[in-house]
Amino acid sequence: MVSAAAARLLLLLILSVNLIPITPIVEERPFQAPDGGVKTAVGKSRKRVFPAPHTQEPNPVSEAYGYCNTPNRTEQAWEGHSPADYKLLSVQVMIRHGDRYPLYSIPKTKRPAIDCTLSNSRNPSHPLLSPFISHMGQGSRGHWESPLGSVPRVPNHSSCEMGELTQTGVVQHLRNGQLLHHAYKPHKLLPPVWTPRQVWLETTGKSRTLQSGLAFLYGLMPDFDWTKLTVRHQWNTLFCGSACDCPARNRYLEEEQRREYRLRVADTELERTYADMARTLGLPTRQLRAANPIDSLLCHLCHGLSFPCVPLGDNGSGGCLTLAQFAVIRRQQLDDEADRRRVGLYHKYAILAMYPYLNKTAAKMERVARSNEAGRQPRVGGEEIFTLSSAHDVTVAPLLSALGLEEARFPRFAARVVFELWKSPPVTQVKKKAGKGEKSKAKGGELFIRVLYNGEDVTFHTAFCRSHERHVSQPLCPMKNFLSYVRRDMFSVFNATSYKEACYKPLV
């Protein structure tokens, strides 16, 4: 369940703004490109993840189209890029579900007419769509943590239900999975025969996250073996498992919501716009605001549907909601995001919210690294080579903030955050010792991390690698930076050194 507070935050957050021009990342020479199928854009630094430098006012409507993430063009993906001879050990991914039907409807208007059954003859389609549908038909052979076994594995209502994944959403994730399939194939990330511990999926209990995760996994591993797949349930949208208790986190969230409320009621243009929209529909303003009209209007926009209209009444009501009204609400959301960053309460909330997930991710990567050490007897069943967490914007947005990626755009539909663990080639050190001749000693390779957001390498924008000096002999970010950030440094904003301490301290 998305809690009421989380749902409210979701609203506040459908945003993204741009303020700081980001210097393009210069790709170092020794990078190898993945094989065919993935469009790369060397030399063309096309920034999608970080908004354009602010040469002009952000346009709230074109921002909204970016949020739709319509799957109608080739995407660039920098996943799987590394210096030659580095070995890819593990990949951990968090996604936001794909395009969905609105969660709220606007009173007195017709719901947008969208068909949530899957069909090859409807756009957007994908070559994997039909095989995906038939593979999902065998899903009862998988292992489903309760209550996931009873959630439908494909959307299948000819008139979408509230919050249901659409065909667009399925195609977005088939494409994401397929992009990573091509990116990781040359690195032989996934063994031909994998074990349930090496590859698994975790998801919240919503059908849209479960179905998005399955579509992604199918794109990555077409015709995967159901009997090996375990799908785990995360009841909390923060993916905090058994470590969700954190009183300070809730207090930062409440403070953040008060900040958001004050900013919103001070915005006279916004208030006027809601009043105009409410008059058109013949509703009390309060009722319209509570119906969160931007959510439904975004769906109209993403699906090319005209905004809702109501017939003229004799009390001044009637007419259509307009793009200009939509733009005002979006503009206020962009202002809110800038204010949110400036104030910093959200960042503190985010650190406490995402620590449990980051701690688990770090632990998985360390286990894989240990099992790869020379001379180790690997554990039967292996370690987590690839796990996928299928989540919501209220998960991905705090994850970005906790990583220090404050300037990144608000997570669009089917957004993806990818953590890659790499190992450099072993170096043979030749030591000359007096009297003993030459002795050579093999030293294991070093560990490195890459972080990607929507296909773009953002590693050197993260809090733990922003100030790392890159050089040709060490072009990647050391894993130990990430580990010490997650296990200690992240809590320095609270003047604390651990999660427990920060969670039980008075607010700072």
Positions annotated as catalytic residues are 97, 393
- Whole-number Å distance between alpha carbons of 214 and 216: 5
Q: Residues 49, 133, 397, 414: which binds ligand NAG (CB under 6 A)? A: 133
Q: How far is the CB of 284 from ligand NAG (least distance, A)?
A: 7
Single out the segment in contact with ligand NAG by CB under 6 A; choices: 62-70, 258-266, 431-439, 449-457: 62-70
> 409 and 50 in contact (C-beta within 8 Å)?
yes
- Count of all residues that appear for the chain in the document: 508
- Tell me which DSSP letter residue 471 carries: B
Nearer to ligand NAG, 211 or 292 (CB): 211
Among 278, 276, 296, 298, which residue's Cα sits nearest to residue 287? Answer: 278
- Whole-number Å distance between alpha carbons of 243 and 260: 27
Single out the segment in contact with ligand NAG by CB under 6 A; choices: 53-61, 63-71, 252-260, 438-446: 63-71
> 388 and 96 in contact (C-beta within 8 Å)?
no
* Interaction of residue 363 with ligand NAG, rule CB under 6 A: yes
Q: How many residues bind ligand NAG (CB under 6 A)?
A: 18
> 61 and 323 in contact (C-beta within 8 Å)?
yes
Q: Residues 55, 315, 377, 467: which binds ligand NAG (CB under 6 A)? A: 315
* Interaction of residue 156 with ligand NAG, rule CB under 6 A: yes
Single out the segment in contact with ligand NAG by CB under 6 A; choices: 65-73, 91-99, 176-184, 446-454: 65-73
* Interaction of residue 235 with ligand NAG, rule CB under 6 A: no
- Tell me which DSSP letter residue 366 carries: H
- Residue 338 tokens read as 């800038």
- Whole-number Å distance between alpha carbons of 127 and 135: 14
* Interaction of residue 56 with ligand NAG, rule CB under 6 A: no
Q: How far is the CB of 70 from ligand NAG (least distance, A)?
A: 4
464 to 503, contacts with ligand NAG by CB under 6 A? 495, 499
Which helix (H) or strand (E) element contains residue 416?
A: strand 416-423
* Interaction of residue 243 with ligand NAG, rule CB under 6 A: yes
Q: How far is the CB of 244 from ligand NAG (least distance, A)?
A: 10
Single out the segment in contact with ligand NAG by CB under 6 A; choices: 16-24, 70-78, 265-273, 329-337: 70-78
175 to 234, contacts with ligand NAG by CB under 6 A? none
376 exposure class (CB count in 10 Å sphere: 0-12, 13-18, 19+):
exposed
> What interhelical angle do 60-68 and 293-302 show, nearest 10?
70
Q: How far is the CB of 218 from ligand NAG (least distance, A)?
A: 14
When computed from its CA atoms, the radius of gyration of the chain, rounded to whole angstroms, is: 24
The strand pairing partners of 429, in sequence order, are 441
Binding residues for ligand NAG, per CB under 6 A? 65, 68, 70, 72-73, 133, 154, 156, 243, 282, 313, 315, 317, 356, 359, 363, 495, 499
